[in-house]
Amino acid sequence: MRIFFLAFLTSLLMPGRSNGQKNAQEARLAIYNISFGAIVSGVGSVLTEQHGESVTKAFLKGIKWGALGGGFVYLGKKTSYQINSKKQMLYGWPSKFVHDFGISIVENAAKNQEIFGSFRTNVGFIKIDISTQKHFSIHPKVMPFALGSFIYGSIKSKLDLNKTILIGTPVFKANKVFLQGDLGLAGYNTIYMPDTLSYFFYSVIAHEHVHILQESQYFSILTWLRPLHNKLNESKKFTIYKKLEKYFYLDIPIYRIPQIFMNYSSNCFYRNYFELEAQHFASNSYIRKCY
Ligand SMILES: [Zn+2]
């Protein structure tokens, strides 16, 4: 996800007129994240139900836990403001863990599994699955899109190890030619930042960090494919799936799909919902859709 300089600058210089506007936008974002979790878990719970529960009961059960998970997702995104306000990238870790704790609840509810029985988070191109169901176990899996992005970044640029460790997501140094006028870039669990520190550095990296969270939030929709996953896993014809599934997590970037339908331009940059959300949480201020 790109961030355009002009849109970014105007969002800082022309904040909303009142606290009321900011609070109303904050409330809408909270409702969106809670509803997102509720819908993903509600639908997933119906699709994966195997104990003879009615559709209504399975749906309501999913909604209840999904809304709770969505609440944590919101809190995780909100914590990303600390990166900017405290000028401290280490806040990327608690922000990511609270967010991923929420997404794990959403996914577990969608899969009809023990709600607090497992926790997943991303470290670079590895998805780590920690489970306490039956017995304690840790399953690391490679995310192919994130791995491709990491390799691409390593060839085209240079990993900034210090920033990577501090924020908890691979950060690559990028020069002006690479960024093509953007202040930063994020996608496939990779962040690109300018190789020189700008005045806006912490604000931009907090914004890009929110994009990374959005990306992993949308992976939870993949739980709807669980019935297909179970069929393929049990299939005697496609044994390759079971073998690959053991080592790989298919990190399809589905959060890019809704953006195809968003009608935004450079002067109405924040009509792109994901950009608006990232900038709101990074700056803790009201963001206008157009300037
Ligand atoms: Zn952005």
* Residue 220 pLDDT exceeds 90: yes
Q: How far is the CA of 118 from the centre of ligand 1 (A)?
A: 30
Name the pLDDT band for 11 (thresholds 50, 70, 90): low
Separation of CA 20 and ligand 1 centre (Å): 24
Rounded to the nearest whole angstrom, what is the distance from the C-alpha of residue 104 to the centroid of ligand 1?
A: 24
Instruction: Report how far ligand 1's centroid is from the alpha carbon of 262 (Å).
Output: 14
Instruction: Express each pLDDT in 149-177 by its tens digit.
Output: 999 999 999 999 999 999 999 999 988 77
Residues 6+ apart with CB under 8 A from 261: none
Q: What's the gap in Å between 245 CA and the centre of ligand 1? A: 32
Domains of the chain by residue range? 2-283
**Which residues, including other chains, have CB under 8 Å from residue 42's CB and lie 6 or more apart?**
59, 60, 62, 63, 66
At 244 the pLDDT is 92
108-148 per-position pLDDT tens digit: 999 999 999 999 999 999 999 999 988 999 999 999 999 99
Ligand 1 centroid, distance to 233 Cα (angstroms)? 37
Strand 137-142 and strand 158-159: the pairing is unpaired
Q: What is the mean pLDDT of residues 174-184?
A: 80
pTM: predicted TM-score of the whole model, two decimal places = 0.92
Q: How far apart are the first and last CA of the chain?
A: 20
Ligand 1 centroid – CA 270 distance (Å): 9
Residue count of the chain, please give it. Answer: 291
Per-residue confidence at 263, pLDDT binned at 50, 70, 90?
confident
Name the residue type at position 230: N
Pairing mode of beta strands 171-174, 190-194: parallel
Q: Compare 12 and 238 and report the one with higher pLDDT.
A: 238
Q: How far is the CA of 148 from the centre of ligand 1 (A)?
A: 21
Q: Which residue has tokens 């195809």?
A: 260
Strands (E), 124-189: 126-131, 137-142, 158-159, 171-174, 182-187
Q: How far is the CA of 166 from the centre of ligand 1 (A)?
A: 20
- Name the pLDDT band for 237 (thresholds 50, 70, 90): confident
Taking residues 268-276, what's their average pLDDT? 93
Spacing, Cα 70 to ligand 1 middle (Å): 21
Query: pLDDT averaged over the chain?
Result: 92
Q: Is the pLDDT of residue 2 over 60?
A: no
Rounded distance from Cα 176 to ligand 1 centre (Å) = 17
